[in-house]
Structure 1
Amino acid sequence: MDGAEAGQRIVMLVDNGVHGDSRVQKQARSAAEAGFEVTLLGRSPDGKEHTWTLGPAQVRLVPMPTPLHKRPHEFRRPWVAAPLAYPPTGVGTQRAQAVKAWKADLQVRRAMGPQGPAAALLRAESLAARATGKWVTLRRRQTTRSRAARKRLDTPADRLYTWFWQATLGDRSWRRIEPGLWDWELAYGKVVDGLDPDLIHANDFRMLGVGARAKIRARARGRDVKLVWDAHEFLPGVRPWTEHARWRLGHMAHEREYAPYADAVTTVSDDLAGMLRTAHGLRGTPRVILNAPAFDHGPEEPAEPGADLRAMCGVGPDTPLLVYSGAAAPQRGLDIMVEALPRQPGVHVALVTNNHHGAFLTGLGKRAGELGVRDRLHILSYVPHWQVVPMLAGADAGVIPIHHWPNHEIALITKFFEYSHARLPLVVSDVRTMAAAVRETGQGEVFRAQDLDDYLRAVRQVLADPQAYRAAYEKPGLLDTWTWDSQAEVLIDVYRGLLEERVG
């Protein structure tokens, strides 16, 4: 431990539950092993605080209520646009269920065979139930349509509201058009202040504001707290995480307001570094820290054997096996791997990913069933990041079928490095940076994104002679800089530079 680092406190901020985010886990552990006192703050998944350690680093997940994520119109009845709609209290669902119960009761009573006046009354009551059911259905349709109309926040009234606050407040407009960002501040802010850090490391755009406001409050108390902003993505090129039209506008305004408070900026690629410098007028070019694998970050005494991909899929050593490891979303292109299976006899696909119960992955499973290949599609859970590379090594090829989005074009992503260290032949879409790297090294084949026939061609070529592609990894020095050890040196150098400046 370097004596200069002992006692210097670093708080790292991330907007997720830490599990599955290998970059922040590696950052926290490496900084702590360098001698800093590190606390990594993330978001609790269940409203309870959770704590554990990553090597010498402390991890805390804080509860985060999200009442500000809801818009005022979600609490009101849309009297003008849908005067018959139910109020947003759940009463519409309750009324529909009550009518179903009424009709079920009438069905049983008719089966009992009433006679005379009782039968006439039952017929009248049945007519009343049908009429009530139609009325409830009409009101529920209006409720559904009115909610759908406001979901994207792009009605004329919504656009006027957005324009007004942008014109009035400029970069401060996120407070009105994306107020849910305050929920992060209200969950994390007091915790950060209580930890009294010397340096705050804010991961990505949501945490930038949390870190900057903590820095401002510390300065008011007479403390010079340094802020590192680790920009994982170029926000103008991110596919919005929600459907409404204000998401990107609000987050970009928030980022522009707080970017000037960063004492240093780090990021994931040279291209993104240049884009961030231009977009925010940064004094210097951000330092690049690749999310490369860490081979020494496992538990000191492994409690269980490493993950075996083929055993997880239930296939033998001679079965052709393609793997994708990472987040699941439409823009990741995983559907092409499923659509190809009917034309790939004997080939199996493993998706090592998250959110297994989400609409996208359940839809892929359903589609595989329709195509008659569900038995050859294996949806698997994440493993600890230090087990990823050994697990991936069991495949015959690693696939990265991502679509053309600005952020997909500008960086070598995490799975690229993981596949490379697993010495897998690669099948990658023709996004700019990654395709260029694969063509240069010869470690795989490139196909046109979203082109099924070209994807099939690339897979056939790789499976026909995988050793020819694996041979690329024998080139001296190819993998040396794609390790976390070399990247952690950059991270620690950034920290030390800022903290020495603070002491001076």
Structure 2
Amino acid sequence: MTEPQLPRIRGRAPRVLSLVYNDASNDSRVLKTAASLQQAGAQVQILGSARDLAGHPAGVVQVRGLRVRRVPDLIVPLVFPRLTRLWRRLAGKDPVTGQRAAADDGATAGARSVTGPGAQVGERAPAAPSAAARAKVFAADAWMRLYQTCRLGFWWKGAVGEGRRLRPDVVHANDANALVPALLIAAGRRTRIVYDSHELWRRRNTRQDKWLAPAAEAVIERIGIRRAAGVITVSPSIADWLQHTYRLTEKPSLVRNIPAATVVPDPARGRLRELTGLRREDKIIAYTGGVTTGRGLEETVDAVAHLPRDVHLVLLGPTDATYTAGLLHRADAAGVGDRVHLAGVVPYPEVPQALADADVAVVFVRPICLSYTYSLPNKLFESIHAGLPIVAADLPDTAEIVRRYGIGEVFAPERPDELAASITHILTGAQGYRAASRRAAAELTWEHEAGVLVDLYRRALEELR
């Protein structure tokens, strides 16, 4: 049994409460952090939010050997049925089922076909929305913003009640939306706060027409980060930004979201061909992660059109139906609809194994916000642990990893032609990159990152002894 690395508090194991505003069932960083602290001798409980409609109700469950308590979620259709029916009417949906009317769907689809890829010259554009339609959209948007705000506040209230009862020694706030309950749980007590910034919260990909929420978030993060006994984050650039913006005397600790150490899988045991029905002789460009906006998937589809017919793009990860339909339409319009494949979802620990039979991985986060520019995507490290060559957008932290370890090629994110050229270069000489990726996987492990995490906790807890 591993000797505890964290100091005991008045003769007992330190109590750590990890706050996260999701159901915690698939949040790899939250689960790995909690497991590492537990292995280091802490008593850890994750406090998340129920997601009843996704099959994660309120209550206590075990997730990968960790105790997770989910506080109730604010489900408006159950709590405020009349308001829900009103909002659905304003949004043009059936007030009972919440389904959009068929006529609306047709209009939406028509608008996408005209303005999206493959639109034909001479097609009639949809008519501009009427004043009544615009008013409905505004009302529905205002209602949704109010609902999401109330929903977050409802979780704050439940988290504070549970947290105060549990009397933790450390509250681990996962992202800035967990800082308010962390501050209230710690108020008037010796409880320490550790702030874990999973992304550059104030510069993340959100709507730019809002001002009140960003202003409130700036105040909350400033107060929380100054109250925290320790700050950790996921990339060097975000650490620099936090230190400069908040004038921190100590740079936040770098704890990257890297998979745990494993043997790099044999390519012959990869699953992408099995999941998509592709042949052994086909070449596979792999993408892993959410199939959604801001991930450079449009440019990647365009690049496939410039590659030989035996080169296919396989997308491994959860999909958004509306976005995916548009992406596949773009592929059809480019003549590569039969070469873009959805492989579905596999459990997080199995991602490197599933990717292993790909020929190259694309890591492309479009720099549409500073948080994306400064990101170190999970997919980068998952692809390294799969032993794959990497083609990555030239963003500071991502490019630094690719170049330092010699695991692939970097392209300018605004140049899809460079993306196609980089893929071609790797496909004609990938073995050297594969070897470099396997060497990098041995060094880039969660166990190394966890050492930094435990050291920070050791310093924070020493003050309580």
Q: TM-score range by the shorter chain?
A: 0.7 to 0.9
Q: Which of 385, 390, 394 pairs up with 1:430?
A: 394
Q: 2-side partners of 1:16 and 1:434: how far apart?
A: 27
Q: 1-side partners of 2:166 and 2:130: how far apart?
A: 51
**Are the aligned partners of 1:37 and 1:57 in contact in 2 as well (CA < 8 Å)?**
no
1:267 partnered with 2:233: yes
Indicate how the Cα distance of structure 1 residues 415 and 49 shifts in structure 2: closer, same or farther if over 3 A, else same. Answer: same
CA-to-partner distance for each residue in 1:334-384, whole Å, 9 max, x for gaps?
Answer: 112222333321211111222x24422232123334444333222233322
Q: CA deviation at 1:440?
A: 3.6
Report the AA paired with residue 324 of structure 1.
Y
Q: Secondary structure at the match of 1:332?
A: coil
**Are the aligned partners of 1:427 and 1:445 in contact in 2 as well (CA < 8 Å)?**
yes
Q: CA deviation at 1:449?
A: 0.9
Report the AA paired with residue 174 of structure 2.
N
**Are the aligned partners of 1:178 and 1:250 in contact in 2 as well (CA < 8 Å)?**
no
Q: CA deviation at 1:277?
A: 1.7
Q: CA deviation at 1:257?
A: 3.4
Indicate how the Cα distance of structure 1 residues 455 and 224 shifts in structure 2: closer, same or farther if over 3 A, else same. Answer: same
Q: Which residue of 2 aligns with 1:396?
A: 359
Q: Which residue of 1 aligns with 2:331?
A: 368
Q: Which of 333, 346, 350 pairs up with 2:296?
A: 333
Q: Which residue of 2 aligns with 1:52?
A: 61
Q: Which residue of 1 aligns with 2:154?
A: 183
Report the AA paired with residue 279 of structure 1.
T
Indicate how the Cα distance of structure 1 residues 88 and 150 shifts in structure 2: closer, same or farther if over 3 A, else same. Answer: closer
Indicate how the Cα distance of structure 1 residues 463 and 51 shifts in structure 2: closer, same or farther if over 3 A, else same. Answer: farther
Q: 2-side partners of 1:467 and 1:284: how far apart?
A: 42
Q: Which of 65, 70, 80 pairs up with 1:61?
A: 70
Q: 2-side partners of 1:7 and 1:236: how far apart?
A: 35
Q: CA deviation at 1:34?
A: 2.0
**Are the aligned partners of 1:8 and 1:198 in contact in 2 as well (CA < 8 Å)?**
yes
Report the AA paired with residue 62 of structure 2.
T
Report the AA paired with residue 198 of structure 2.
H
Report the AA paired with residue 49 of structure 1.
A
Q: Which residue of 1 aligns with 2:125?
A: none
Q: 2-side partners of 1:272 and 1:492: how far apart?
A: 20
Q: 2-side partners of 1:428 and 1:233: how far apart?
A: 19
**Are the aligned partners of 2:272 and 2:355 in contact in 1 as well (CA < 8 Å)?**
yes
Q: Which residue of 2 aligns with 1:83?
A: none
Q: Which residue of 2 aligns with 1:214?
A: 185
Q: Secondary structure at the match of 1:24?
A: helix
1:143 partnered with 2:132: yes
Indicate how the Cα distance of structure 1 residues 307 and 253 shifts in structure 2: closer, same or farther if over 3 A, else same. Answer: farther
Q: CA deviation at 1:487?
A: 0.9
Q: How does 1:89-168 map to 2 (within 5 A)?
A: 90=89, 141-149=130-138
TM-score, normalization by structure 2: 0.78
Q: Which residue of 2 aligns with 1:381?
A: 344
Q: 2-side partners of 1:426 and 1:142: how far apart?
A: 49
Structure 2: which 5+ runs fail to align?
77-82, 97-128, 264-268
Q: 2-side partners of 1:411 and 1:204: how far apart?
A: 15
Q: Which residue of 1 aligns with 2:312?
A: 348
Q: Which residue of 2 aligns with 1:16?
A: 22
Q: Which residue of 1 aligns with 2:447?
A: 485
**Are the aligned partners of 1:333 and 1:403 in contact in 2 as well (CA < 8 Å)?**
yes
**Are the aligned partners of 2:88 and 2:94 in contact in 1 as well (CA < 8 Å)?**
no
1:7 partnered with 2:6: no
Indicate how the Cα distance of structure 1 residues 243 and 333 shifts in structure 2: closer, same or farther if over 3 A, else same. Answer: farther
RMSD between aligned residues: 3.4
Q: 2-side partners of 1:366 and 1:321: how far apart?
A: 20
Q: How many residues align?
A: 409
Give the number of the structure whose residues are more often helix, by fraction: 1
**Are the aligned partners of 2:73 and 2:151 in contact in 1 as well (CA < 8 Å)?**
no
Q: How does 1:243-254 map to 2 (within 5 A)?
A: 244-254=210-220
**Are the aligned partners of 1:66 and 1:183 in contact in 2 as well (CA < 8 Å)?**
no
Q: 2-side partners of 1:258 and 1:59: how far apart?
A: 24
1:500 partnered with 2:462: yes
More deviation, 14-23/42-51: 42-51
Q: 2-side partners of 1:474 and 1:38: how far apart?
A: 33
Q: 1-side partners of 2:462 and 2:90: how far apart?
A: 61
The structure with the larger Rg is: 1
Report the AA paired with residue 415 of structure 1.
K
Q: 2-side partners of 1:88 and 1:52: how far apart?
A: 33
Indicate how the Cα distance of structure 1 residues 212 and 444 shifts in structure 2: closer, same or farther if over 3 A, else same. Answer: same
Q: Which of 167, 172, 180 pairs up with 1:201?
A: 172
Q: CA deviation at 1:149?
A: 4.9
Q: 1-side partners of 2:346 and 2:279: how far apart?
A: 21
Q: Which of 252, 277, 286 pairs up with 2:252?
A: 286
Q: CA deviation at 1:321?
A: 0.5
CA-to-partner distance for each residue in 1:197-226, whole Å, 9 max, x for gaps?
Answer: 11111111101222111111xx2xxx4111
Q: CA deviation at 1:407?
A: 2.0
CA-to-partner distance for each residue in 1:227-251, whole Å, 9 max, x for gaps?
Answer: 1000122233211168645443332
Q: 2-side partners of 1:311 and 1:195: how far apart?
A: 47
Indicate how the Cα distance of structure 1 residues 447 and 406 shifts in structure 2: closer, same or farther if over 3 A, else same. Answer: same
Indicate how the Cα distance of structure 1 residues 294 and 54 shifts in structure 2: closer, same or farther if over 3 A, else same. Answer: farther
Q: Which residue of 2 aligns with 1:310?
A: 273
TM-score, normalization by structure 1: 0.73
**Are the aligned partners of 1:11 and 1:199 in contact in 2 as well (CA < 8 Å)?**
yes
Q: CA deviation at 1:96?
A: 12
Q: Which residue of 2 aligns with 1:451?
A: 415
- Pick 1 or 2: higher relative contact order, CA cutoff 8 A, min separation 6: 2
CA-to-partner distance for each residue in 1:162-206, whole Å, 9 max, x for gaps?
Answer: xxxxxxxxxxxxx9x966642331232212223221111111110
Q: 1-side partners of 2:234 and 2:16: how far apart?
A: 21
Q: Secondary structure at the match of 2:326?
A: helix
Indicate how the Cα distance of structure 1 residues 95 and 18 shifts in structure 2: closer, same or farther if over 3 A, else same. Answer: closer
Q: CA deviation at 1:460?
A: 0.7
Identity of aligned residues (%): 29
